[in-house]
């Protein structure tokens, strides 16, 4: 019998998160106060984040211990997760390459997002916060934070990008089932949302707009803090349990990946999967190549500018040095709602700028074609976001076939698509644009 699934025991689960900041080729440009253009101080962030997460955001420690309560919660969301080999897909492609995928879809919330949601909810709870406000695109982050708030007995308000709110009704019901309030963004719950609806009552929304609404709701509620599912350093940090597990699993296999692939919206699943390996490559201990995949309709890394920009549309956040399409950018309502963000994480952006990470982009139609092939061969239905990584992995496998090379390709299966069937219906009916 072939070994197609490599697992870890609970005792083997990493006990620390990896922080890439000390290992970056050049220091990360600091967030700036938009009024003074000076680096912000930790106290500037205390209105929206707990002190513990602010400390992690700016930490230069290479590793940060995972609290025991968070480790216990990780067990709830199926950590450690398996590394699985796509043997049927390999056979279908007739490639000499080996294709592996990390199963982050097995979480009860359906994606990798619980890795930081549980950590953020825990740290906020420890500092007496009663309610978290947040945004969500396709709904994976909102579902994860709703689950985490339920676990730690907190309240949660979610502003969901209107295009996804309409496309993915069952994702919002998952959030409500976990006890959250969910509003389509732009909404009538905030001054900023009302101003946009007054101009266009059918505004499709964007992650930048939803972030602005969640921040406004937080600032107006003295019992609340804001929680972000991607982009910021502490979010990337919490996700690195994925890559550390994957590294241990490849050690068990006695193999080293030639390529690591992940989709990128803000960058959290890509960072979590690749950063522990990137750290090893920066220390010249590894030769792996890193591929970041995005939609051609939101070409942040492939066609954006590397410059300071706001993280939200209403210009409420500090200025971040990142690849950006401009904070006023409103993307088309593609089904990969989690990838519809105008910017990318400063850490991911810095690595792209340094040439350590290679970005690529794909059209929605070819992404769904790759997803359908994967589902047919492997029996697992991927989220549209994850399907971008699958498309890139397939292309790499076909390139290995052309060159007759036995490459090892791994991608992060960041979430399942069981609540994305409207997109698959459009693809199967021939109406997907």
One domain for residues 194 and 314: no
pLDDT digits (tens, 9 = 90+) for 251-264: 999 999 999 999 99
One domain for residues 259 and 320: yes
pLDDT score at 338: 85
Nearest by Cα to 345 from 289, 292, 266, 272? 266
One domain for residues 152 and 256: no
One domain for residues 401 and 326: yes
CB 382 within 8 A of CB 416: yes
- Biggest CA-to-CA distance, the chain: 64
Give burial (CB, 10 Å; 0-12/13-18/19+) of 111.
buried
One domain for residues 221 and 249: no
Per the structure, how many domains does the chain have?
Answer: 2
Domain end residue (candidates: 208, 233, 258): 233
One domain for residues 296 and 227: no
84 belongs to a structural domain: yes
Domain end residue (candidates: 233, 253, 277): 233
73 belongs to a structural domain: no
- Read off the pLDDT band of 138 (50, 70, 90): confident
70 belongs to a structural domain: no
Residues 6+ apart with CB under 8 A from 159: 133, 134, 135, 136, 183, 185, 187, 189, 193, 210, 213, 214, 217
pLDDT digits (tens, 9 = 90+) for 35-88: 899 999 999 999 999 999 999 999 999 999 999 999 999 998 999 999 999 999
One domain for residues 144 and 260: no
pLDDT digits (tens, 9 = 90+) for 188-239: 999 999 999 999 999 999 988 999 999 999 999 999 999 999 999 999 999 9
pLDDT at 270 exceeding the cut of 90: yes
Mean pLDDT of the chain: 96
364 belongs to a structural domain: yes
| Average pLDDT estimate for 266-270 | 96
**What element of type H or E holds 248?**
helix 241-253
Place of tokens 């101080």: 41
159 belongs to a structural domain: yes
Domain end residue (candidates: 216, 233, 250): 233
One domain for residues 271 and 409: yes
Query: Could you count the other beta carbons within 10 Å of the beta carbon of residue 315?
Result: 14
pLDDT score at 1: 61
pLDDT score at 331: 85
Q: What is the pTM of this model?
A: 0.95
In our burial notation (b when 16+ CB lie closer than 10 A, e otherwise), range 68-102 reads eebbebbeebebbbbbbbbeebbebbebebbbbbb
71 belongs to a structural domain: no
pLDDT digits (tens, 9 = 90+) for 305-325: 999 999 999 898 999 999 999
* More confident position, 164 or 66: 66
CB 146 within 8 A of CB 140: no
* CATH number for the domain harbouring residue 123: 3.40.50.1100
One domain for residues 88 and 24: no
pLDDT score at 336: 85
One domain for residues 329 and 182: no
One domain for residues 48 and 145: yes
pLDDT above 70 covers a percentage of the chain that reads 100
327 belongs to a structural domain: yes
Residues in the chain: 433
- Reported in sequence order, the residue ranges of 316-394 that DSSP labels E, i.e. its strands, are 319-324, 357-362
273 belongs to a structural domain: yes
One domain for residues 309 and 408: yes
Residue 382's domain comprises: 5-12+78-110+240-429
């Amino acid at each position: 019998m072939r070994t197609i699934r490599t697992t870890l025991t609970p005792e083997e689960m990493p006990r620390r998160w990896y922080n890439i900041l000390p290992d970056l080729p050049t220091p990360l440009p600091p967030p700036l106060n938009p009024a003074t253009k000076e680096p912000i101080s930790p106290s500037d962030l205390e209105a929206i984040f707990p002190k513990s997460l602010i400390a992690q955001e700016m930490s230069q420690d290479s590793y940060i211990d995972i609290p025991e309560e968070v480790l216990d919660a990780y067990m709830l969301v199926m950590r450690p997760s398996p590394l699985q080999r796509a043997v049927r897909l390999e056979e279908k492609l007739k490639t000499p390459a080996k294709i592996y995928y990390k199963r982050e879809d097995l979480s009860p919330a359906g994606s990798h997002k619980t890795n930081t949601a549980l950590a953020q909810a825990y740290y906020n709870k420890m500092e007496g916060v009663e309610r978290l406000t947040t945004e969500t695109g396709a709904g994976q982050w909102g579902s994860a934070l709703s689950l985490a708030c339920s676990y730690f007995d907190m309240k949660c308000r979610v502003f969901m990008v209107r295009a996804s709110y309409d496309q993915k009704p069952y994702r919002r019901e998952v959030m409500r089932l976990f006890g959250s309030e969910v509003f389509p963004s732009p909404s009538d719950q905030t001054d900023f949302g009302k101003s946009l609806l007054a101009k266009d009552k059918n505004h499709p929304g964007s992650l930048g707009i939803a972030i602005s609404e969640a921040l406004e709701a937080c600032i107006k509620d003295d019992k609340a803090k804001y929680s972000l599912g991607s982009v910021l350093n502490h979010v990337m940090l919490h996700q690195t349990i994925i890559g550390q597990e994957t590294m241990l699993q490849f050690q068990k296999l006695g193999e080293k990946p030639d390529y690591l692939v992940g989709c990128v919206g803000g960058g959290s699943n890509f960072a979590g999967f690749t950063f522990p390996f990137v750290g090893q490559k920066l220390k010249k201990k590894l030769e792996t190549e890193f591929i970041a995949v995005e939609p051609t309709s939101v070409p942040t890394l492939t066609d954006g500018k590397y410059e300071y920009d706001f993280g939200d549309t209403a210009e409420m956040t500090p200025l971040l040095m990142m690849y950006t399409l401009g904070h006023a950018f409103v993307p088309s309502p593609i089904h990969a709602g989690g990838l519809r963000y105008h910017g990318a994480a400063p850490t991911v952006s810095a690595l792209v700028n340094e040439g350590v990470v290679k970005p690529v982009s794909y059209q929605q139609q070819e992404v769904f074609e790759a997803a359908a092939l994967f589902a047919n061969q492997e029996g697992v239905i991927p989220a549209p976001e994850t399907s971008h990584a699958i498309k890139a992995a397939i292309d790499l496998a076909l390139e290995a076939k052309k060159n007759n090379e036995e490459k090892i390709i791994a991608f992060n299966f960041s979430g399942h698509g069981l609540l994305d069937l409207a997109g698959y219906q459009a693809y199967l009916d021939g109406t997907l644009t």
